[in-house]
């Protein structure tokens, strides 16, 4: 099958063809992306977007957490932001701006270094600010959009504009975005409070995360959203599904809402295990668990 590839003339970043997504996802699975672009900066990313065919699908990836790429890979273009769109600065004494490729944990550390509090929970989100904005990621009782003041978005035509937080419809692990727009940066308004030891709080939160989650094994964070009034992990555990395996993928024995790659899993194994967990929880509790992870690409 012929795949559409992008002309690299005039681009400052690196464009890779047929790039294995297993190298770029925290589950360590996924087939090849037709076009995988590593922009030098935000201006370079806009230049890349502006030259894409109108009908070419575009995907953005940060650290590859909360993402399952199927074994057949991705048709279209993938723009990698993690560690690349990485500028961060203070706007005023209470507001910081972070580009999409900055890790959420780095934003948490940056905030406490500037005597700001309210963003410590970001240290528990295993991804970038772009991903946190896209899904209203949360940890330890905090949610991203609770501290968002405004965002910069980038359009498929390669334009950047600012939108206020009030323009978006936000809910639990969901954000209704505008068509053909992606988050380029976020503006976070936090409290200035020198009496709170933010560094100690982050250390405490990360210790709790390390004790309760299988952070040493390839995973994508929480797989399912919590149903109203309950927790997915509890439902999965009481359904007797801890340790359940499909191929090289297993439900974690440590935290039931995590699926781990035991070293040889295919994306299909993980996806089939997701469906099996949904089936069993539905059968036993009449509750349909909704995936929190995003599943993209083509099956092999």
Same domain for 285 and 189, yes or no, is: no
CA 89 – CA 112 distance, rounded (Å): 13
Same domain for 63 and 142, yes or no, is: no
Q: Which of 22, 99, 173, 271 is catalytic?
A: 173
Same domain for 71 and 113, yes or no, is: no
Domain end call among 31, 50, 80: 80
Dump pLDDT digits (tens) for 211-225. 778 888 999 999 999
CATH value at residue 33: 3.30.43.10
Q: Is the pLDDT of residue 9 over 90?
A: no
Same domain for 187 and 238, yes or no, is: no
CA 154 to chain centre: 17
Would you say residue 1 lies in a domain?
no
Same domain for 189 and 110, yes or no, is: yes
120 is catalytic: no
Domain end call among 145, 172, 199: 199
Dump pLDDT digits (tens) for 241-287. 999 999 999 999 999 999 999 999 999 999 999 999 999 999 999 99
CATH value at residue 224: 3.90.78.10
Average pLDDT over residues 150-171: 96
245 is catalytic: no
Looking at residue 114, what is its pLDDT?
92
Would you say residue 259 lies in a domain?
yes
Q: Is the pLDDT of residue 292 over 70?
A: yes
> What are phi and psi for residue 128, nearest 5 degrees?
-100, 170
Looking at residue 4, what is its pLDDT?
64
CA 37 to chain centre: 18
Domain end call among 53, 80, 107: 80
Dump pLDDT digits (tens) for 169-209. 999 999 999 999 999 999 999 998 776 777 888 888 778 77
Q: Is the pLDDT of residue 63 over 50?
A: yes
Looking at residue 195, what is its pLDDT?
65
Looking at residue 268, what is its pLDDT?
98
Task: Work out how many domains the chain is built from and give that number.
Answer: 3
174 is catalytic: no
> What are phi and psi for residue 238, nearest 5 degrees?
-70, -15
Same domain for 37 and 103, yes or no, is: no
Would you say residue 110 lies in a domain?
yes
Q: Which of 22, 65, 98, 222 is catalytic?
A: 222
Residue 249, both tokens: 């993928």
Expressed as residue numbers, the domain containing 173 is: 88-199
Looking at residue 206, what is its pLDDT?
78
How far is it between the farthest Cα atoms of the chain? 61
């Amino acid at each position: 099958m012929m795949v559409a590839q992008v002309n690299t003339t005039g681009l400052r970043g690196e464009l890779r063809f047929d790039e294995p997504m297993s190298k770029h996802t925290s589950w360590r699975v996924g087939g090849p992306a037709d076009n995988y672009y590593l922009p030098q900066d935000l201006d370079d990313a806009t230049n890349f977007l502006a030259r894409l065919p109108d009908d070419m699908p575009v995907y953005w990836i940060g650290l590859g957490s909360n993402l399952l790429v199927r074994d057949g890979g991705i048709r279209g273009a993938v723009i990698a932001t993690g560690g690349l769109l990485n500028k961060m600065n203070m706007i005023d004494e209470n507001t910081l701006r972070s580009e999409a490729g900055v890790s959420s944990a780095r934003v948490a550390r940056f905030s406490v270094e500037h005597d700001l509090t309210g963003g410590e929970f970001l240290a528990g989100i295993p991804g970038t600010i772009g991903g946190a904005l896209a899904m209203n990621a949360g940890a330890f009782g905090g949610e991203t959009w609770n501290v968002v003041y405004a965002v910069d978005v980038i359009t498929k035509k390669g334009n950047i504009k600012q939108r206020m937080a009030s323009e978006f419809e936000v809910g639990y692990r969901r954000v209704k975005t505008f068509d053909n727009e992606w988050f380029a940066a976020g503006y976070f308004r936090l409290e200035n409070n020198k009496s709170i030891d933010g560094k100690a709080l982050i250390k405490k939160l990360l210790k709790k995360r390390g004790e309760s989650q299988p952070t040493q094994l390839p995973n994508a964070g929480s797989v399912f959203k919590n149903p109203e009034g309950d927790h997915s992990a509890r439902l999965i555990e009481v359904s007797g599904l801890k340790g359940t395996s499909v191929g090289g993928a297993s439900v974690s024995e440590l935290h039931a809402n995590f699926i781990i790659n035991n070293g040889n899993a295919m994306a299909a194994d993980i996806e089939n295990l997701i469906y099996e967990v949904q089936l069993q929880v539905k059968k036993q509790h009449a509750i349909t668990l909704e995936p929190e992870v995003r599943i993209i690409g083509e099956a092999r």
